Every structure is written in C-alpha cells, then in structure tokens.
Structure 1
Amino acid sequence: MDAFFASVEQRDNPELRGKPVAVGGSRARGVVAAASYEARKYGVHSALASKIAAQRCPQLIFVKPRFDVYSAVSRQIREIFHSYTEMVEPLSLDEAYLDVTENKIGMPSASIIAKEIKQRIFEETGLTASAGVSFNKFLAKIASDMNKPDGFTLITPDRAEDLVASLAIEKFYGIGKVTATKMQSMGILTGADLRERTEEELVRHFGKTGRYYYRIARAEDDREVQPHRIRKSIGSERTFEVDITEEEDMLTQLEQLAKEVAYDLERLQATAKTLTLKIKYFDFTQNTRSKTYLSEFKSAEALFTIARELLRTPQLPQYPVRLLGLSASSLLYQHDKQEGYQLTIEF
C-alpha cells in the first residue's frame, strides 16, 4: 500500500488531501509513524522525531493514529488477496507476498492478476497500491518499491541480473541503513560491486547474512511464500539520526515502539509473556534487558509500562543511544487457546 496510514487519513478527511500529513507525534514531542507523499518531499519519513519533521516542513499537519481503522482496512485488502490465492504471506498490515503460480481464477499471467488486485483495492477501499511482479520474493519486493505511488513493475528473468547490478546498495531489500553504510565504506555502492565479492568475504564481514547478500547480488532467492508461518517473536526497532541522551526522548521512542508491537500482536491475534528491550550505544556496543511474566499482555499501555521499567533497571543508559528496540516473545496465539484455558494470576 502507498503511504498506508497517511493515505487512510487523507481518504477519510478531505481537508487533508494534497497536504503534507504526518501520522503520529506532535510538534512538541513524539515520532512520525507514517508520512504522506506531500510530506516526504520535505524529508519527512517514518521513525523521524516529530520536532525535526516540523522543522523540515513547517506546514506539516500531525494526525493521531487510528490503528483500529488501519486494521479494518487491512482485513479488507487481505480478503481481496485470498480471493485469488491462499498462498498469502503478510509482511505487515499493508504489505504481503502472493504466490499466484496456481490461482483461483485460472489466470496464467501474474501481471494481469496484480493489475486486477490493484484495481479492486482502489474500488473497494479508495486507496492505491503498488505491485511488484517477478519470479522470486526478493525481486518482487524490489519491484514493488520502484514506481510508487500507484506503481506496477515487472521484472522478467532476462532483466533481473542487469537490474540488480545497477541498483544502489541502499535500495536492496534486506540491507538496512547501517549495513549499507558499512558496505559503502568498503566500496560496495551498487549490486555490481556486491557481485564482485566472494561469499567467504561477505560472510567474514557480515556473518551468516553474507550468504544471503551473495545470492541476491545474483538475483537468486529460493524462499517460498509461507501462508501459515508462525512467528516466535514480534518486534520493532528504531535507529536515530542523532544519538539521544535524555530519558524523555527515550521514553517517547519506546512509547511509539510499544504501539507498533501492540499493533502487530493484535493483527496476529496473539499475546506475549516476555518483553525484551534492546539498546545500542553510540559506539555500536549493545545490551538487552528482558522480563518474563506468568500472565499474558498485549496492549500498548502494558508494553510501554514494562519497557519503561526495563529502561530504568538496573539504571538508565549512561551513554548516548543510537538505537532502541522492543520485541515480544513467548507468544500465544488465539487459535491455539482451548476452551477452558486456565489463566494465571500473578500475586
């Protein structure tokens, strides 16, 4: 989906259409959860501190997130997907992989199916989506980001290697900002540069993930679409443009991360018993703090309360922080709960 949260707000409030909109945060505090395309022109993007967003775009309009609405729209979109294939692997509320090799309408063309899905999404929700079509997951994901908004991109086998070779390294799906910076410092600026490195060299510099980098540089990805994948943990993390040192700023970030994790727990109809806080410092050293409860939790309020306690125990971070992350684990899914399930009460 294109700028999903912001697009839903613009759809539901005509006064926001054509204007720079940020979902989440305010001019005083907070973090941007999503930005409209009008706001992105000013350098406003998700995970950006609201104060900085307001400085970059003085006319920016801040809107409170409505996660229940986004979830409802996501369910609408998911129903459209499932009318074509059961092979649907969600990545988030607004994105999924579909395997249409065999599909419910007997259509041999993935491109026609993708265009039909885009049209149905627009007709049924009033929102635009971008589709990427290719012969593996990595390329389909790359294609989906190439012509946003309302885009459609097809990457055929004869085009794949040349396209990957010309791609800037920061555009590779699976290569984050920190890794891209490290690669650039090594002289790896494009897919062609990445392809020149041996698998052994990439593993030496990037660990096991180096094998993945070696394959995608050659447009290879044998991962299957997994419609029933059971996740063992759900998490979200944020790398900051400027290291933070104040407790208030850390709590603001953790509050947003708690909302994002709670959002995913609700989407997956799951609860958690363990919460882990990840802290990475200015010098890239990191530690984790974790707590497990007998009872389950899933609300943003509960997650934030636990996260705040973890941040302060045994003490507040003593050095500038460049990244914070929250992950919920020991998950229990709603469909696994049996009738008469015995809840525990923590005394």
Structure 2
Amino acid sequence: MAPAAGRAAGCTVLHVDMDAFFASVEVRRRPELAGTPVIVGGAGNRGVVTSATYEARRYGVHAAMPTARALRLCPTATVLPGDMALYTEVSRSVMALFRSITPLVEPLSLDEAFLDVSGAGRRLGDAVAIGEHIRARVYDEQGITCSVGVAGTKFVAKLASTRAKPDGMLVVRPPEVMGFLHPLPVNALWGVGPKTEETLLRLGLRTVGDLAHVPARTLQRALGAAAGTHLHELAWGRDPRRVVPDEPERSTGAEETFSSDVDDPAVIHRELLHLSERTAGRLRSIGCLARTVSIKVRFADFATITRSRTLGTPTDVGKELYDTARALYDALGLERARIRLVGVRAERLVDAGAAHQQLELGAREHGRRDAELAADRAARRFGAGAVRPATLLHRSGRPGGTGPRAARTGGRGHPEG
C-alpha cells in the first residue's frame, strides 16, 4: 500500500527506543513471565531496579528505585539479576538492523538510537513507512517491541517516541511542532533538571508554551546565558543538531554496591577482580581497548573518590585491568575504611582493530587473553558466569553476607524506556 501523501512531510529523523529493554529481553527468555510484573536489578537491601516491565510500572516501579521499595509497591513481581552480555548481543543485532536501513545511525545507549532516513526514502518509503518497517522487524527478529518518534529534529523525535510508549509510533510534522510542544511540562525540555525546573516554576513557567513566550533575555538572566538561550530555542522547536553516526564510546565499566559496608581488603580485591572481568568482557563485545583504567570508591558516609592510571599499552584483558585497579586501590591506604561501593571503568577507548599493538607479547599475556575469549564463548552458550576465576567461585557465599547485590554497567548509560 502506498504511504498516505504528506504524512511524513518534513520528517527525516527517527528516534527508536526499545520498550523496557532489559525486562523485555528477560521475558523473551522466560515466556511464562509474559504479562506479569518483572523487575531486573539487584536484590537485597541495597539492590537497585535497572528495568521493569510495564505491568510493574503500573504499581509505581521505575528504574533507579531501590529494589526493596519496588517490592513493597509490587510484592508479586519477579526479580531477576540481569545478563548484560545477553542485552549487549540483542542490542548489536538491533543496531545492525538500523544500519541496514541507513548509515546515519547515532546510538545513545544499548536500547535507543537516532536515525537520519533522508537517503532511504526511495528504497523503503517515507519516514513513517520506515518506522513501521523497523517496529515490525524488531518484533519479528528479536521478540521485543520498540517505540518510534518521527520528526524533523532530534529533540522532537525523542519526545515523540516517549509519548508513543509502549509499542507505538508518533509522527510530529513541522507544522504540528508548536501544538505538540507547548502543552508539555517544562521538565520535558532537555537540560531541565530538578533545580532548573524549580527556578522556572518560581517564575510561573509550568509549560513549554509558558517558557516559549518569555523573552530570551529574561531566561538568560534567570538561568545563565547558555542555558537560557538553549531552552528558548528548544521551546520553539529549534534544534540544529544532526544525526552523528557511530559516535565512539568514551568509556565503559561496572560498579557494585555491597549489601552491607565492607572493611576487609580481601573482599574489595575480589570485587575489583569481578568488576575488571566484566569490564573487559564489555570491551571485547564492543571491539575496543582501554588506554586508561579508573576506580571509584564510595564510603559509608557516601563520600566518593576516584583514581585513574594510563596504561602503557591499550588492553581488553581482565587481569590487566584488575592489576591496575588493585594498585590504584591499594595506593589509597584505606586500611579498615568502611566501603559502600566500588567501581572499575575503562576509559579513553580505541578501536581494537586499528589500535597500535606491541609486536611481541609474552606467552602469559597471549594465554590470558585466549582464556578470556574462551570464557566469552562459554558465556554466550551457557550464560553469564559459566567460566570465571577461581578466586570468585565463592564470591556470593562469603561469611557475613557482604556479597554485592546491585550492579550498573555501561558505556554512556542505559536508559530504560
């Protein structure tokens, strides 16, 4: 059927967002959970929700909420720990689908991306037809749903996909932008966090339309020159940014919050090893090497410090990340400090295929990387944790219940739709 005339006139930008991505992948793996509340995240007193199905969200459950609170709101929910390797694999397949449609794909996280489809119309139809095509193929090939925003700018397309959730598509053509934007609350604008929202509400500005009709100079005096100008432009639907394909990930890592504060260096060392292994696996999955390793340490009073070190040679080997992370931690001289959270991060990433490598590597380094690649293959076949260092075999069962319960990992973050 030919597309309706003019239904996508002036629209060349798509924002595609997977619906409750992590939770949806888990339900795909366990179809008996379909239609039930499912929470992905850490268990225990300090666990944090990473994702939740829409059945759980109806009870008020949302990402970044403590799992204990989520279970009070929705006691019938199934809590699953999550499998980042699986989510990464599904994400790579989805992004490959996008790139089969247009080379102009800008991933924002594992579960969302902008697409510029201005060059794909002759082959696939207008932006609406392409959005429908994407939604159908994601469902057919991955067994999960996505929502699509179609507009003339990135900003409006992203807002449209949010309004289309779950499992929908919303088209906002240029003549419709003001009618779409101006009734929205001011916190719908990019750059309006809680503090800025409080300032705007004090000025009596509750909707985007209210803000749009305030002179730019007034906003600049209240919010600062840059922020005032930025919000004034967005309120009138002006967003000149183009879709930037394949923006390289700048960093990736993992962190863990302990179920109770830890003051045993041996426990911290084991956790740093676990996090280093996870981070190295993530590096290998995205085809990158790290030039810099950093650690994060959060104390019982929530004070947080970070330290970093640049490596002589970029790496994706967990043992090498761990050696650096442990040295950074030991150099802090914390002794019996009570630790709430530790994290390991790989930074200044470079493409593994193009990176300059030393011509001669010792047999030990070769053997270590080969072993970790074999562990990657086992994880893909048998699940995360199928192969791990002997040091970590009893990690979750050590005395005192100090095993970590909540985890967060990612390159630029993984917002859940």
Fold-level similarity (TM above 0.5) = yes
* Matching residue of 2:161: 144
* Matching residue of 1:180: 197
* Matching residue of 2:126: 109
How far residue 168 of structure 1 moved from its aligned partner, in angstroms, is 1.0
* Matching residue of 1:158: 175
Q: 1:181 to 1:328 in 2, by over 3 A?
A: farther
- C-alpha contact 2:107 2:247 (8 A) present in aligned 1: no
Bigger Rg over Cα? 2
Q: 1:150 to 1:61 in 2, by over 3 A?
A: same
Alignment of 1:300-311 (within 5 A): 306=325
Mapped pair 1:135 → 2:174: no
Mapped pair 1:66 → 2:118: no
Give distance in 2, aligned partners of 1:16 and 1:340: 49
Q: 1:164 to 1:57 in 2, by over 3 A?
A: same
Alignment of 1:258-273 (within 5 A): 265=283, 268-273=286-291
How far residue 336 of structure 1 moved from its aligned partner, in angstroms, is 2.3
* Matching residue of 1:55: 72
- C-alpha contact 2:149 2:164 (8 A) present in aligned 1: no
Specify the code of the residue in structure 1 equivalent to 2:153: N
Specify the code of the residue in structure 1 equivalent to 2:189: F
Unpaired stretches in structure 2, ≥5 consecutive residues:
1-17, 263-267, 365-417
Alignment of 1:7-86 (within 5 A): 7-86=24-103
The counterpart of 2:240, out of the listed 208, 222, 247, is 222
The counterpart of 1:334, out of the listed 342, 352, 367, is 352
- C-alpha contact 1:83 1:104 (8 A) present in aligned 2: no
Specify the code of the residue in structure 2 equivalent to 1:221: D
Mapped pair 1:171 → 2:203: no
- C-alpha contact 1:142 1:173 (8 A) present in aligned 2: no
- C-alpha contact 1:85 1:104 (8 A) present in aligned 2: no
Give distance in 2, aligned partners of 1:7 and 1:300: 29
Equivalent residues, number: 333
CA deviations over 1:260-315 (Å, ceiling 9, x no partner): 9778745543233435578999xxxx986331142556689958x94996699487
- C-alpha contact 1:118 1:129 (8 A) present in aligned 2: yes
Give distance in 2, aligned partners of 1:188 and 1:201: 11
Q: SS at 2:106's partner residue?
A: strand
CA deviations over 1:105-154 (Å, ceiling 9, x no partner): 53451011101110111111111110000001001110011021101000
Specify the code of the residue in structure 2 equivalent to 1:109: D
Q: TM-score, normalised by structure 2?
A: 0.65
Give distance in 2, aligned partners of 1:116 and 1:167: 29
Specify the code of the residue in structure 2 equivalent to 1:140: A
Q: 1:201 to 1:28 in 2, by over 3 A?
A: closer
Specify the code of the residue in structure 2 equivalent to 1:215: E
Unpaired stretches in structure 1, ≥5 consecutive residues:
238-245
- C-alpha contact 2:149 2:157 (8 A) present in aligned 1: yes
- C-alpha contact 2:294 2:325 (8 A) present in aligned 1: no
Give distance in 1, aligned partners of 2:105 and 2:170: 19
How far residue 155 of structure 1 moved from its aligned partner, in angstroms, is 0.5
- C-alpha contact 2:295 2:328 (8 A) present in aligned 1: no
Q: Which moved more, 1:24-33 or 1:179-188?
A: 179-188
Give distance in 2, aligned partners of 1:263 and 1:177: 36
- C-alpha contact 2:147 2:164 (8 A) present in aligned 1: yes
* Matching residue of 1:292: 309
Q: Which moved more, 1:129-138 or 1:330-339?
A: 330-339
Give distance in 1, aligned partners of 2:211 and 2:278: 33
Q: Which has the higher contact order (CA 8 A, sep 6+)?
A: 2
Identity %: 33
Q: TM-score, normalised by structure 1?
A: 0.77
Give distance in 2, aligned partners of 1:9 and 1:194: 41
* Matching residue of 1:213: 231
Q: 1:42 to 1:311 in 2, by over 3 A?
A: farther
Give distance in 2, aligned partners of 1:205 and 1:187: 14
How far residue 98 of structure 1 moved from its aligned partner, in angstroms, is 0.5
- C-alpha contact 2:219 2:229 (8 A) present in aligned 1: no
Specify the code of the residue in structure 2 equivalent to 1:217: A
Q: 1:64 to 1:231 in 2, by over 3 A?
A: closer
Q: SS at 1:274's partner residue?
A: strand
Q: SS at 2:49's partner residue?
A: coil
How far residue 11 of structure 1 moved from its aligned partner, in angstroms, is 1.2
How far residue 172 of structure 1 moved from its aligned partner, in angstroms, is 2.8
CA RMSD of aligned residues (A): 4.4
Q: SS at 1:138's partner residue?
A: helix
Give distance in 2, aligned partners of 1:80 and 1:167: 32
* Matching residue of 1:88: 105
